[in-house]
Amino acid sequence: MAIAISTTIDITVEPVNELPDAVDDPNEMTDEDTPVNIDALANDDFGGDYYRVWAPSR
């Protein structure tokens, strides 16, 4: 006599917060005493997370 038993298991997989993939920024050149703006995060991949770069002006 064979007995069969079945069950259901629910598995939840949570996402992993992966390290950002930072890429070197292009070199920007400007004349002396002339400011230049660089979007330092434009070519970086943060996996959907939000990051901000802040630096005070001189």
Q: 9 in a domain, yes or no?
A: no
Task: Report the pLDDT value the prediction gives residue 9, as an integer from 0 to 100.
Answer: 92
Q: Which of 55, 30, 56 is nearest to 40 (CA)?
A: 55
Q: What is the pTM of this model?
A: 0.39
The pLDDT of residue 12: 92
Provide the residue range defining the domain that includes 57. Answer: 16-58
Domain count, the chain: 1
Q: Is residue 44 part of a domain?
A: yes
CA 19 to CA 15: how far, in whole Å? 13
Q: Is the separation of the CB atoms in 40 and 53 below 8 Å?
A: yes
Residue 54 confidence (pLDDT): 74
The string of pLDDT tens digits covering residues 4-47 is: 899 999 999 887 777 777 778 777 788 888 888 888 777 787 77
